[in-house]
Structure 1
Amino acid sequence: MDSSLPFGQRTLVTLALLIALAGVAFVCGPVHAAQTPLPNILLIVMDDIGIDQWKLFGYGGATPAATPNIDAIAAAGIKFHNLWTMPACSNGRATLFTGRYPLRTHVYTALGNNDLANFMVNPNEVTAPNLLRQRGYKSALFGKFHMGIQSNNPYGYGMVRAFGFDYFYGWLDATGDPSSIDGTAGGVAPPGTWSCGFVRDANHGGADSGACYSGNNACAVMSKSGAEAPGRICRDAGGIFDPNQPCINPTPDNINFATLSGHYVSPLTINNEDGSIEQVPSTDLRARTYRGTDPVDAAINWINQQPASQPWMVSVAFATAHTPVMQPPAQLLPPSEADTSNLDCSNSLDQRVITNQMEEALDSEVGRLLVATGLASRGQNGQLIYRPNQTNTVIVMVTDNGSLGTVVKAPFDSSQAKSSVYQTGVWCPGIVAGPPVKKPGRQVNAMVNIADLYQLFGELAGIDVHQNVPRTVDAQSILPYLLNPSQPSIRKTNFTQIGTNLHANGEINSPCQFNTTTCSQIAPTKGVCEDNGGIWWGPGATDPSTVGIPADGLQLCCDVAVWQANHAQTILTNIYPLEAFAIRNANYKIVINNYEGYDAPSNACLATSTKEFYQINENVPLPKLDNDNLLASGTPLNRQQKKNYDALTAQLAQILASQPACPGDINLDRVVNNADIAEWQMFQQLSGFSSWADINLDGLTDSADLAIILQNQGACPTPHPAQVPAAQSRPIPVASR
């Protein structure tokens, strides 16, 4: 199939539908006088870095990473100290780029390779690049995408361009996240030998000399001359180190350039502006360059090629500091940083040190990005000199979700981290800097949601997104905080959500057990589970504790608890919910968790829903976190608590009821009609497999789905908030058992 055909088909059909059905939807409605020229937007998205990590926000624990470049950007802009995102990679990014909560986009959690297209961002969404295109912006994404997975997306490797970006240069891993580390270090050792993907030095079981092969068949002998292991130096340069061997020609058969390896050997894909698609071979140096560096190189090249009169939006989406953690190139670290070549990337204590270094390397590359594109310069001592008023670019920095539990910094709660709706899982750094910012160096304590950045993009371009986008937008204004140092809080409440993406016919991810007490179903594969220090209970399970389980594995975390009870093993006590919601106001927070729990008396799974109520704050250095449930004490709520509890309960019910199901509405216009039939026909012809027209979720786009469209012709149901209780927004998906 012609790789450029899907996007061409998509563009023609969408254009026809817009002309016929929503011709006024994209008329710009400026909320303020647009700047002339329009400002460029540089969006920097970080991965798994919660607010607990950085001294810049008053936290960082006993050993915070050094971030002088990011600190300089914040000093020239403003820090959002009370920003919520979503609990996982994909739903956080989908909310950022659509301004819409997961209950609308149906991207409920981190996407995996078996998830249906229905749980990826629908190309009918007015994504940020589509929004800005109305004002003449060009857009490009560099690095991580993870709002679609090519295995079940009908656009395959062209899905980023179908999403709306004019240009994409980044990684399309099978699961959306970095692959497992190649423990063979390129084929020179048995599997699992080298936990960080390179050969250590002789004092640590490796070698101090050997042949370093590159993907272009060149070779050079390398010997240790400093603290750093030559195997690491070779790997960091894109090569494979054959320990204690001379260079020979041809390259030995065991040298393997094909295997992916975490942050160093990546499946690099390019969506060109002409619609063509390139999949870069793993022998190419670009595919073997550290993930914190290669997208920055590409972004610099693209930005510097844009005419001065061309407004642009560029998203540089780092994979830092997502697992599997790996030592970054030493040259990106402070000169005083200790060598970490001989740390163990599978050891939880070493992972904390390596994570700090990955964050410091990210800081270095952010500084390089600004300097190389003319947005900043270097002082005599190497410090970043950033004067935003001398540029025409607004810089936005945000993280997709909170920190992974194993690297959470005190006093935050490592048991309520990434993948949960608790504070440690959703409270993240936010920075905005640029010419519009008045009185820079400020901290904004008002509640902000990652969805609100979508509205900021529109505001900067003079677009009223609520008037302009033909569907519900959850974003609220941010621009007033930039312009007015005295701006009171705009949001009265904040919201976050996580759920379960489905596979064909209702299947979901298999259980992944952490430590002896906790189980989650967010990991899509055995490799991802084990990269995060977990035990896989799905197909292909190999941990000794799983011996004897069915060949296709166990299906739910509660099934693991039942198995453990039947086999005299330690039983899980903490099962992550299959869906969870949280809402807060200035001082209080409600959390709802829905899951299949383990019932010890009956030794069986039991559908469980919990509701929790907390008093929280953002105090520095000791914030009041959500770890003292006011509903659990047995003491009745006082008058003030009850008033806040009732108000938040009602608001949460209203949000969850605001997107009633509408089977057959493929193009998201809240009407089921011939336009949706045209969409079904297009996707059916495109692949016939998973698509947004696969309404019955069986992995096929076929006549059964067309029948559902025909049965549901007409306007979608009108929301009735009072009729939907907060804990029942949608059924909990449960795998066939």
Structure 2
Amino acid sequence: MKKTQRRKLSTLLLATTSALALAGCSGGSDPKPQPPTAQKSNILFIVLDDLGLDQLAFYGYGGAVPPKTPNLAAIAQAGLQFRQAWAMPTCTPTRATFFTGRYPSSTNVLNAVVSTDLANSEISPYEMTLPKLLDTQGYTSALIGKMHLTGTDLDTAANLPYGHQTMWKLGWDYFDGYLDGAPFPIDTRAGLSNVAEGTYKCGFVSNTTMDPANGADVGACYVATGGCESISRGEDIATPGRSCMERGGIFDPGQSCQATRPSYIDFDTQNGYYTGEFVQSWPDGRTNKVTAADPSARGYRSTMETDRAVAWAKQQSGDTPWMMSVGYSAIHAPLQLPPLSLISDTTRGRNDNLVCSPASDIEGVPGQITALIDDHLITNLMLEAMDKEIGRLLVELDLATWNDDGTLNYQPEKTNTIVVVMGDNGTYVNSVKFTEPGRFDPTRAKGFAYQTGVSVPLLVAGPMVKDPGREITHQVSSPDLYRLFAEIAGADVDAIVPANRPVDAQPMLAYLTDPGQGPIRTLNFAEMGTNFTNPATSITPQPCVIEAANVCFTIFPNKALCDDQSGIWYGVNSGLADVPAEGFSQCGQVMSYRQGLDAGDKVDVLPDSQKAVSDGQYKLVRLNRKIYSIDTADPVNSTYVENQNTDELYKVDMAVPNPTLDREGSAIAIGSPTITAPLPTEAQQAYALLKAEMDERDQVASYNYQYDKLNCPGDGNRDGVVDQRDLDNWTELSQLNLYKGVAQSSWYDFNHDGKTDDADRAIIEAGMGMDCPSSPA
């Protein structure tokens, strides 16, 4: 049975009646798969989380103490290393561009998806996603680990219409990964419900040298399978609690193993990088969820992600080409020490007992940046551990071998697999390497459209790469990978993707096959914005301040998420003096409060939208930010005034060892809403070109943001018409993911009230037969 038929058959099971469900999945005939040929390459796509160019010594950067990444360096040396690759400033928008070929404003996937967003800000099942595209060429596809493309199953799963079948509905034959955007916070009780939160800040019971008050040098290590082993400090085990955690266990300090596991041993609570909740789906539509208490969900994430990728790939026959996307969680917050077994004995900080000692704490009060040295050290260790696992992935897939000295012997020309590695956005603030070489900018890192936030590694290796070891200095953007993968598979994007929804991706294959290939892109573009917020959820995001970036935002719904990002929480129960118990509701109140404490405080509001466009030398950044009144005497009185546009023009390059970045104070000119001051001739010409592109992208963003309510209400599948298919799709979705008898958020929630109900059906009926206006670009 063909995959497209299996998908339709499974969809019959999702709706109340088979007839309605069959109508709901109609969206045009899927292109007929072609039989695979021996020439078709397998594709291994590795996505690195929060890892910008600043981290990597083989790019010429890495700061004064770079992490060890020999295996990533080996991939670069055996293939191509792109020096001007841009991602979007945050994870979900970038990852959506990989699999749709469209910029964020073309899909309304504008920021990292959280549980309080509408499904309208997630990839639509009506898109020609990359796995669907490759299906037309006979490929089977898998997605392993973190990809953060959808909503979550938290609470009522308010923005997950297809539940655990979502990745399957988006086209993947197999999924074994997380719906969450990051590992859960570190369990500072270390799995012990009888101790207070905050006792063990790194997630494991310290030894007595690190923490004389709460540490232990002996105890019982319980594992999820039901066993227990006594562990004590000795020559091979410096910290028994850490050793137990690395085995997937929970350490009971100072105690011996009991025949019945004590009730305070808690395997249900997640613990940062040492647990995961894996959602699985299969080609026949079956799903499963593996919770943190399951032995297979306990271990170190980079290791578990590699294990799952190897397991799937090993099951594939040699007759069918495959694409496997592996999303590693590292080096996303929370920063947590990896297993000692993944770290070289000579790595600085491997055996540093102060990292998780109370002696290293600095009070997290406004105006201070906490634990920066620890953050850099742990980031290095996490990156080295992931690099080791990436090497193991290649070896266990028979794409490489280990040399006698432990280095990677990777000769991609002897394989039938293309390997592509890319970061999803720049490094997060506290991990940015701001010293030489590199001198990147932590105040303009992940979450910003400046160079530190969008410049990422991109490596491509494989049998079709001619003259490996080259650097590509031409500009490329994350959506371009959509076309690259299509070209590798032999899929004709322009013939398959609907003409009314052309992709933004540019072709890249020529860079692999032609060493003399000139620039394919004339402009590079990146953006982020604000997702559609779900008014039906009971959770209200409140302000969080990231002091290292001088920014306040209202995205996180609770203090734990803010804490995990090294932020200061100004919401409910913040614990800060003179902050109301219910917390502040917006960042104007936070800025008023902070300026009352320090008139020179620089914290500002995270822009509602950010766009950046560059010709490789000049770069235009356009910001749209809320402006609030400031009342230092009574911060609660701060009110919203207006939104303000600002254009900033910079000169940039990614030179080695220290690039010219778009730092604060380095702009050639700044204007609001646009630059009107006279500029030097070359700069003026560049600004005119970049502004024209930016204006066009603004029009596209406005068109798509208003699509459901203004430009084409009723056209939920975005095929350009309001017709019976829309009514059928609404019928299907209105019977799924019910809460109190009403379907929750979906792509057919046209009034954006968090419900897919009769009000949305009425919108379709009112617009029936309408041809929608075309996008401005």
Q: Does 1:668 align with 2:718?
A: yes
How many angstroms apart in 2 are the aligned matches of 1:7 and 1:379? 52
In the TM superposition, residue 158 of structure 1 has moved relative to its aligned partner by 2.3
In the TM superposition, residue 64 of structure 1 has moved relative to its aligned partner by 0.8
Q: 1:675 to 1:261 in 2, by over 3 A?
A: same
How many angstroms apart in 2 are the aligned matches of 1:341 and 1:74? 34
Q: 1:573 to 1:380 in 2, by over 3 A?
A: closer
How many angstroms apart in 2 are the aligned matches of 1:365 and 1:658? 41
2:570 alignment counterpart:
537
CA contact (8 A) 1:332 1:360 kept: yes
TM-score (norm 1): 0.91
The partner residue of 2:606 within 572, 576, 588 is 576
1:617 alignment counterpart:
653
Residue type of the partner of 1:414?
A: P
Query: Which runs of structure 2 are paired with 1:83-482 in the superposition (5 Å)?
Result: 83-150=85-152, 151=157, 152-173=159-180, 176-187=181-192, 189-205=195-211, 206-226=215-235, 228-337=238-347, 338-340=350-352, 342-344=354-356, 347-410=371-434, 411-470=439-498, 471-482=501-512
Q: 1:61 to 1:189 in 2, by over 3 A?
A: same
Q: Deviations over 1:349-402 (max 9, x none)?
A: 211101111100111000101111101011121211111111100000001111
CA contact (8 A) 1:161 1:167 kept: yes
How many angstroms apart in 1 are the aligned matches of 2:692 and 2:32? 35
How many angstroms apart in 2 are the aligned matches of 1:266 and 1:306? 25
Q: 1:251 to 1:497 in 2, by over 3 A?
A: same
CA contact (8 A) 1:28 1:468 kept: no
1:56 alignment counterpart:
58
Residue type of the partner of 1:484?
A: D
Q: Deviations over 1:517-550 (max 9, x none)?
A: 4312343532111111112223x3323146325x
How many angstroms apart in 1 are the aligned matches of 2:732 and 2:516? 51
Q: 1:257 to 1:136 in 2, by over 3 A?
A: same
1:638 alignment counterpart:
680
Q: 1:495 to 1:7 in 2, by over 3 A?
A: farther
How many angstroms apart in 2 are the aligned matches of 1:509 and 1:96? 28
In the TM superposition, residue 272 of structure 1 has moved relative to its aligned partner by 2.5
Residue type of the partner of 1:222?
A: I
CA contact (8 A) 1:325 1:354 kept: yes
How many angstroms apart in 1 are the aligned matches of 2:50 and 2:13? 35
1:510 alignment counterpart:
542
Secondary structure of the residue aligned to 1:38 is: coil
2:558 alignment counterpart:
525
Q: Deviations over 1:380-437 (max 9, x none)?
A: 2121111111110000000111100111112111100000101100110000000110
How many angstroms apart in 1 are the aligned matches of 2:555 and 2:388? 31
How many angstroms apart in 2 are the aligned matches of 1:64 and 1:566? 39
2:367 alignment counterpart:
none
Q: Deviations over 1:540-581 (max 9, x none)?
A: 3323146325x3x43321232234457888755322101111
How many angstroms apart in 1 are the aligned matches of 2:686 and 2:61? 28
Q: 1:682 to 1:46 in 2, by over 3 A?
A: same
For the aligned residue pairs, the C-alpha RMSD in angstroms reads 2.5
CA contact (8 A) 1:79 1:443 kept: yes
Q: Give the percent of matched residue pairs that are identical in Structure 1 and Structure 2.
A: 39
The partner residue of 1:648 within 671, 676, 690 is 690
Secondary structure of the residue aligned to 1:428 is: coil
Secondary structure of the residue aligned to 1:234 is: helix
CA contact (8 A) 1:581 1:593 kept: yes
CA contact (8 A) 2:34 2:137 kept: no
Secondary structure of the residue aligned to 1:256 is: coil
2:3 alignment counterpart:
none
Secondary structure of the residue aligned to 1:445 is: strand
CA contact (8 A) 1:110 1:522 kept: no
CA contact (8 A) 1:143 1:295 kept: yes
Higher mean C-alpha deviation, range 575-584 or range 277-286: 277-286
CA contact (8 A) 1:29 1:467 kept: no
How many angstroms apart in 2 are the aligned matches of 1:12 and 1:329? 53
Q: 1:139 to 1:240 in 2, by over 3 A?
A: same
Q: 1:600 to 1:189 in 2, by over 3 A?
A: closer
Residue type of the partner of 1:417?
A: A
Structure 1 gaps of 5+ residues are: 722-737
Q: Does 1:626 align with 2:662?
A: yes
How many angstroms apart in 2 are the aligned matches of 1:658 and 1:712? 22
1:693 alignment counterpart:
748
Higher mean C-alpha deviation, range 268-277 or range 431-440: 268-277
CA contact (8 A) 2:33 2:138 kept: no
CA contact (8 A) 2:589 2:630 kept: no
In the TM superposition, residue 680 of structure 1 has moved relative to its aligned partner by 1.0
In the TM superposition, residue 603 of structure 1 has moved relative to its aligned partner by 5.7
TM-score (norm 2): 0.87
Higher mean C-alpha deviation, range 662-671 or range 47-56: 662-671
The number of residues matched between the two structures is 708
How many angstroms apart in 2 are the aligned matches of 1:14 and 1:64? 54
How many angstroms apart in 2 are the aligned matches of 1:28 and 1:653? 40
CA contact (8 A) 1:506 1:697 kept: no
Residue type of the partner of 2:463?
A: P
CA contact (8 A) 2:48 2:327 kept: yes
Q: Does 1:561 align with 2:591?
A: yes
Q: Does 1:710 align with 2:710?
A: no
In the TM superposition, residue 442 of structure 1 has moved relative to its aligned partner by 0.4
Secondary structure of the residue aligned to 2:612 is: strand
In the TM superposition, residue 5 of structure 1 has moved relative to its aligned partner by 5.8
Q: Deviations over 1:589-637 (max 9, x none)?
A: 1111111123449964332221111111111111111121111499621
Residue type of the partner of 2:429?
A: G
1:729 alignment counterpart:
none
2:5 alignment counterpart:
none
How many angstroms apart in 1 are the aligned matches of 2:700 and 2:532? 22
CA contact (8 A) 1:97 1:454 kept: yes
Residue type of the partner of 1:170?
A: G
Residue type of the partner of 1:621?
A: P
Residue type of the partner of 1:646?
A: A
CA contact (8 A) 1:41 1:395 kept: yes
Q: 1:716 to 1:389 in 2, by over 3 A?
A: same
CA contact (8 A) 2:611 2:621 kept: yes
Structure 2 gaps of 5+ residues are: 1-8, 362-370, 632-636, 738-742
Q: Does 1:605 align with 2:640?
A: yes
CA contact (8 A) 1:145 1:160 kept: no
Q: 1:272 to 1:99 in 2, by over 3 A?
A: same
How many angstroms apart in 1 are the aligned matches of 2:598 and 2:388? 50
Q: 1:462 to 1:44 in 2, by over 3 A?
A: same
